[in-house]
Each structure stands twice: as C-alpha cells, then as structure tokens.
Amino acid sequence: MTNLTEEVEVDPQQLFEDFLKQDKYRERISHMVIAGSNSFVVDFEDLIVFDMTLAENLRETPDEYLEHVNRAAYSQLEIEDSEYASQLENVIVRFRKLPEPTHLRMLGAANIAKLVMVEGIIVRATPVQPQVMRAAFKCKRCGETAYLDQSGPFLKAPLKCEVPHCQSKGPFEFMQEGSTFIDYQQIRIQERPEDLPPGQLPRTLNVKLISRDLVDKARPGDHVAIIGIVRAEAPSLPTAGKLRVFRLHVDANFLDVKSKEPETAFISPEDEKKILELAEDPWVHRNVMRSIAPSIYGYEIIKEAIMYLVFGGVPKHLADISIRGELNILLVGDPGTAKSQLLQYISAIAPRGLYTSGRGTTAAGLTAAVLRERGGGMTLEAGALVLADKGVACIDEIDKMRPEDRVAIHEAMEQHTVSVAKGGIVATLNARTAILAAANPSLGRYDPYKTVTENINLPVTILSRFDLIFVLKDVPERDLDEKMSTHILEIHKRGAAPLETPISSDLLRKHISYSRNIKPTLSNEALQRLKEFYLEMRAVTEKIEGSPIAITARQLESLVRLAEARARIALRKEITAEDAEAAIAIMNRSLEEVGIDVSTHMRDIDIIMVGKPKSMQDKLRVILTEIVEMSKDTGMVEKRMLLEELSSKHRIEALDAQKLIGRMIKDGTIYEPRSGFLKKV
C-alpha cells in the first residue's frame, strides 16, 4: 500500500515544470530574458485549469510552493537560455488575478501564512530604500569574511567565527561591498470607498514590496490589487519584550495597478446589452435624471446638472496645456432643501465617490499630508481629492471650512493636481476630480436682493471655478408644497420611494463606468451653435457702451464639457446640435440665478469672476475719483462733504454711498485717518 502511495505522489516542482512548458509561459520566459529581468507573471486562472489541487496547495502553503515554482522556472530558463540562467541566482514567479479577493476588513488570524489578494487605495508610500538580504561580516580577529542570510527587521551578526583556528565570538564588522542588497518599499493601502460599510472607519494594511520590479510602481491615490502572503509580526516594547497581540501585514508577490479609470463591478455581456438598450432610448436623459435620488422631490434642473457632472466631459492633453474634463457644481440653498441628501446619494452612486463635510475637513485631509515616520523619514499620505481621482468628491458645507484650508481646493479645481512641498518632499499628485459642493447662505436664508457673492461666505477665486451654480430657495407655494408633502408622507408610509426608478442604481453605476470609454467630439452644427451663443452674449457688451460682460471663455469651456457629458449619456461619438442646446439652456438657467446684477437686472459675469457687479465697480470708481479730487488741498476729505457731492453730482444716494465707502474701507482701498474723514491708501 505504501509503495502505491509513493508512486501516486508527484513532485510539485515537476508539476510546475510541466505547467511552465506551455507556449504562453515559454514566451513570457523569453520576454524576461530580452527585458533583462529576473521575474515573470503567471495568471492564477491558468494554474487552476492545469491542476486545481496544485493551485489550492499554493494558496494554503505559499512559502513552500513558491519555492517549488521558482525552482521550476529556473530549470525552465536553463532549457530556454542557459547562458542567461548562469547570470541569475534565482527566478521569481509572480501570480496575478486570484479568483476571489479577500476584503481588508475580513483579513484575520485564519489568513496568516496564506496567499491572498487584497484590493484598496494606496494612502501612503515610503521612499525606496536598499534592504540587505545576505550580509557579509569580517572577523576582526582573523580577518576572514562570513556570509549570513538576513530576515526580520534587525541586522544579525554571526554568533561566532566559522574558521576552525579562530572560533572568536566577535567583534564582527559589516562589509557593504560583499553584501547583497535588494530594493525595499513599504506602502499602506486603505479600503475602497465603495467597500466601506456605512458609519465605519476605513481599515488600513501595510504592504512590504521587495524587488526592483515591484517598488515605485504605484503612487498614493492609485487603486491597486495586491497578491501576497499574510504575515503576523509582534511589536516589541523596549523593556517588556514582544507583545502578545500581533500586527498583520502582507509580503507582496505581485502588485497590479488597476486602470486609472474608475472601475465598478465587472460589466457582463448581459449588462452591456442593457446599457446599449438604455442608450438607444430617445428618452435616455430623462430616464437617467429620474433615477438620480428618486426619494428627493423635484429639482429637475439640479438633477440634470448632477447627471452631467457624474458622466463628465472629456479631458484634453495638449502639448502645452491640459484642459479639464470634469465639471464642478455648487448648490447654494436655504436650510432643509435636501442638499446634503443629494450629495450623500451622489457619493454612493458615482464610481470612486467620496463625501466630506466642511466643518471637519482640513487642507491636509483634502489634498495630501506629509507625515514623519517612526524611523525619522517623511512619507506622503493622500487626502480626499487624491483618493477620489477620476471620481466625484462631494464637499458639504464648503462655506464652513476655515479660509486657510479652503485655499487647498483652488489648484485641484482648475489644474486637477495637488502639489505638496513640505518636509523635503516635493510632489505633484493627480486629483482629476469632479467637485459637487453645497453651501448655506451666510445670513441663514438666501437674500434675492443681494448678489451671490454677498449671500455666501466664499471667496471669488473658488466661485469662479464652478461651471454651474444653483440656488435652492425655500419659497412657500401652495401647489408645490402640496405635492412635496404628499411625496414625503408617502415615503414614510411605504418606507420606499413613491415612484419606481426607470434604471436601478447598480445598472446606473455600470452605465456611468461604461460611458467613460466614449470620447465624443464636436460636430460642425454643435460647434456653430455654441459659437453663436457665445458671440451673441459678448455682443451685448459691444452694442451698449458701459454694459457689463455677460460671459467669458471659462463659460464657453463649461458649455463644451456639458455637451460632451450629454453625448456620453447616449453613448454617442459625436456631439449634436441638440446636446449644445441643452448645455446652453442649463448654463442660461445657472446665469439667471447667480449672474444677474440685482440693481440693474443685467447679465454680469463679474459677480462670479470678480465678486462685484460692473454697476458697483463703476460707483466705487466714481467715489475713489472724488476722494482723490477733493483731498488735493487738504490731503483728506470730510465724509459729510463727500456724501453731499456724490448725491448732487453723481446721483448716488447717501445710504448707498455709505455702504460702498464701508466696503472700500474693508477692502483696504481707503481709510479713516481720523473720525469723519477719509483718505486714499
């Protein structure tokens, strides 16, 4: 019986050799020789097809079986190219695409010493450093050199000299020249936002990357899949020794940087068929819009704008400049207008969506932080905008952020990068993020008799970077109130949305992901329509001398992005005149709400771009000119006389003039040398 068993048992190394004799892997070994590398990649699925037991043993006892496969690969290399094999000490086989990833949250004691695949976002990466694998030590008594393989965090010297006539227990000198080093980097990965259960803190895991072909492959903010062996390490205290509670980390065998595009669940052929059917429906835009936050009543225009934001435009990378494709939208609204609910919903539906609130958000948390390591080095940790790269960042209560923290968003909104220069680290990270922000009016409720800049506590530098700004006003209206109350009470009664959505949230997420592969271009009709609209709006300023500027080139770029997003929803390769019209309509709606000078009722883009409508700028200029003229003799002007002059000569009411003078003092244009007198700075 024993003999039979011995006959049946097959050497794992022999099995791996048979597996690597396939044409696919013989070709990969040849490529490895051409590239001058010492590693190549094996698809785990192929091993399952070849021998399921072998694949299972590799997962259960990876330390033993990776040795077998590496030796098998080396012997196969000797057959393919014996000369190259003689130059290498060993060959490393890297495995990719394990059938089932293990969630970071589920990683525990049962996984120790097993081969697993974990997915996450890199939040921190140390610099690449050399790590000694085989150390050379010189005995200071007899001068002989001994070699010792190293493991663990500390460098270990030999216990005694191996030379028979010496046998000395030291001292030993570490010899850098004869030692073998390998590149080493440690990264930290965090759970992906879509895997995070509500109300839970994201878990993190340290990953050790050893070898030149693994280090520096990915940066903070990248989505990665890591295949490796789970290890447990006991932290030690200086006096008490090692602790009983161990920390888990992964020794990486392979690191796969996921495509930079946001990925959702695998899109099956059935899903693709459903998506194509959706896109062919002439009412596709209405269906997608009705599927966005169905439990929130009304807001058709805002839902349409959010729909364009989620699908996004096409970024352009020219030789000299890059033009962003993602849209930025700001919602300004009275309390209780469901702004936060909309943002929470979008962060859940958008691939790679993140939600953060302004109150608890810092500049480092939004962009990137430079942290000091225990070893004394500095590392970079990615913030929310970097983690939401190629996704949507929802920032609630953006007006409640501290001004010094809010400055961090400027670069990310227009350039789509985050630059860091701290603690000796100078880096630029990608933050190609669409921003959906919400703000409350500074005085509680939105005042229609004030401009948008006076209503919100936000600097013009940020306001001007939003493609669309909408105001959500809570105005009592009998019919609307009746419909809304019925809708809300119906939700409470049924415990579900009153209306069935045309598209399920899962299919909508897949539709968004699928549409990102389409890069629509402007048709001649669409180009002509956008050009006509832009020139028409600019012509108003030309015709009437002194009238404000209605639109700038920044809005023209926004129109192109909106039209591209609309074409993407229908999976069209070309932007039609209809897409251009829809983009113009929604831009007009936004400008009607925030780009109108409340005193002259004329379109004025300076409200958003500069923070002051042209009518106010003209009045400020008049006041400043009068102050300069009247103070020629005395060096300053009496406020009472100035107000009289402005009223009689320029017809500026005393109350208006008082407000404008107050604003100029606040801006630092003029000051009061003594009470009741004014002087230009």
190 HSE (CA, 13 A, CB side): 19
Alpha-carbon torsion (534, 539, 544, 548), positive or negative = positive
The answer to whether 330 and 453 have CB atoms below 8 angstroms apart is no
Tell me if the bond preceding 171 is cis, omega within 30° of 0: yes
pLDDT < 50: residue spans in the chain = 1-8, 260-265, 543-547, 597-601, 611
Q: What is the dihedral of CA 151, 155, 157, 158, to 10 degrees?
A: 0
Q: Strands of 392-396's sheet, edge to edge?
A: 353-357, 392-396, 434-439, 328-333, 468-472
How many Å apart are CA 157 and CA 132, to the nearest integer?
12
Which residues lie below 8 Å from residue 270, measured CB to CB, with a gap of 6+? Answer: none
E-strand ranges in 312-439 read 316-317, 322-323, 328-333, 353-357, 368-372, 378-382, 392-396, 417-422, 425-430, 434-439
Output the pLDDT for position 550.
58
Residue 509: both structure tokens together: 């997420």
Q: How many CB atoms lie within 10 A of CB 319?
A: 4
| pLDDT tens per residue, range 93-112 | 899 888 888 888 888 888 88
Polymer length in residues for the chain? 681
pLDDT at 542: 55
Distance CA 290, CA 303 (A): 8
Q: What is the pLDDT of residue 551?
A: 64
Q: What is the pLDDT of residue 118?
A: 92
SS3 172: strand
> Hey, what amino acid is at 34?
I
Q: How many CB atoms lie within 10 A of CB 53?
A: 10
Alpha-helical runs (H) found in 423-497: 452-455, 460-463, 478-494
Domains in the chain: ranges and CATH = 9-96 (3.30.1640.10), 104-257 (2.40.50.140), 283-494+511-515 (3.40.50.300), 521-609 (1.10.8), 614-680 (1.10.10.10)
The confidence score (pLDDT) of residue 228 equals 92
Give the model's pLDDT for residue 230. Answer: 92
User: Tens of pLDDT along 146-182?
Assistant: 888 877 777 888 888 877 777 777 788 888 888 888 8
Quote the CA–CA distance of 411 and 401 in Å, as a whole number.
16
Taking the C-alpha atoms of residue 588 and residue 559, their distance in angstroms, rounded to an integer, is: 10
Contact 515, 568 (CB under 8 A): yes
pLDDT at 235 (0 to 100)? 76
As a whole number, the mean pLDDT across the chain is 78
